[in-house]
């Protein structure tokens, strides 16, 4: 089913409108130049808490940071966008959902110098099954190191979750898929591991967890969640530069992201990682993560924002 042809409602500039009427003009500035910011957010059935958005405030805060970095003026408060996200889940009668808040420039002007542009905002929510199969969450996925380099900090603004950045991700992912892999690892401009096409990456060696510094990587909210869960378990995580061959000889490796959740890596560039399937530390953190999003960790129920 086309994303343009669905039942339901979308929040658009402060109003709920029918899904099929949520349209913009073909000369919308962001469509032509890619200047926009967005979030990927998930709501889960969290048991006694009901349907709840996971780490809603953190996602909204990052959306506002992204807009600030890109010098896009926000017309709404954080509280308004938090309520809008709850509203679209409720009004679309979703038990679990993927949410997409996006801030973009309209069709008020054209060209790079356009100085009369207005920021607009939409929030959509729909049922989106798991990014990977249940088998992938247990056995892990095959990954290829991409020939495409991740953004340099002085070429683009790496801390913003910006629409145009994802051209880089799409190229890297398509290359990986064409090679029979399910995901890509992108290196930074100095040749060190940065992240996946839409995920942060962690590696485990001798019981210690490592992850790349956030130089050219997005400051992931699932990444932050794993830091907290690892600390709860007594694991140490070190942020450092990681070479691709360090990934090859890791005992375990996994991706994290709102869409990917916690996803084991079993193979990189034809090299088996560890035992070639999900390792024990990955499994423990993955289990805790899924408990957290469904309200099963009493110490972290503050991460849940019930929609009702």
What is Dmax (Cα atoms) for the chain? Answer: 57
Burial, 206: exposed, middle or buried (Cβ in 10 Å; 0-12, 13-18, 19+)? exposed
Q: What is the CA 240 to chain-centroid distance, rounded?
A: 21
Pairwise CA distance, residues 103 & 29, whole Å: 12
Burial bucket for residue 250 (CB in 10 Å: 0-12, 13-18, 19+) = buried
Burial (CB count within 10 angstroms: exposed 0-12, middle 13-18, buried 19+), residue 33: middle
Q: Is 161 designated active site?
A: yes
- The string of DSSP codes covering 150-214 is PPPTTTS-TTS-BGGGHHHHHHHHHHHHHTT-SEEEEE-TTS-EEEESSSEEEEEETTEEEE--S
Alpha carbon distance, N-terminus to C-terminus of the chain:
28
Is the distance from CB of 162 to CB of 134 less than 8 angstroms?
A: no
Question: Cβ distance 236 to 209 under 8 Å?
Answer: yes
Are the C-beta atoms of 36 and 104 separated by less than 8 Å?
A: yes
Catalytic residue among 86, 118, 161, 272: 161
Cross-strand pairs, 41: 99
- Give the residue numbers annotated as catalytic, written as ranges: 161
């Amino acid at each position: 089913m086309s994303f343009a042809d669905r039942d339901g409602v979308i929040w658009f500039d402060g109003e709920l409108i029918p899904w099929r009427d949520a349209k913009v003009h073909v000369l919308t500035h962001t469509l032509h130049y890619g200047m926009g910011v967005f979030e990927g957010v998930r709501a889960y059935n969290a048991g006694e808490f009901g349907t709840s958005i996971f780490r809603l405030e953190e996602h909204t805060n990052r959306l506002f940071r992204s807009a600030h970095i890109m010098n896009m003026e926000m017309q709404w408060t954080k509280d308004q966008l938090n309520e809008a996200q709850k509203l679209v889940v409720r009004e679309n009668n979703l038990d679990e959902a993927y949410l997409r808040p996006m801030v973009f420039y309209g069709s008020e002007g054209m060209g790079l110098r356009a100085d009369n542009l207005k920021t607009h905002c939409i929030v959509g929510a729909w049922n989106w099954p798991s990014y990977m199969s249940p088998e992938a969450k247990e056995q892990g996925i095959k990954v290829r190191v991409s020939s495409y380099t991740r953004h340099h900090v002085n070429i683009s603004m790496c801390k913003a979750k910006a629409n145009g950045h994802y051209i880089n991700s799409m190229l890297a992912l398509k290359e990986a898929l064409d090679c029979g892999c399910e995901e890509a690892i992108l290196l930074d401009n100095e040749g060190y591991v940065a992240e996946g096409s839409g995920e942060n990456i962690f590696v485990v060696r001798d019981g210690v967890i490592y992850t790349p510094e956030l130089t050219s990587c997005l400051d992931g909210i699932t990444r932050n969640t794993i830091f907290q869960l690892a600390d709860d378990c007594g694991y140490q995580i070190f942020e450092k530069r990681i070479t691709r061959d360090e990934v090859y000889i890791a005992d375990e490796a996994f991706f994290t992201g709102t869409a990917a959740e916690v996803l084991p890596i079993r193979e990189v560039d034809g090299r088996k990682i560890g035992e070639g399937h999900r390792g024990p530390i990955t499994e423990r953190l993955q289990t805790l993560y899924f408990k957290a999003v469904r309200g099963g960790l009493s110490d972290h129920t503050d991460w849940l924002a019930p929609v009702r």
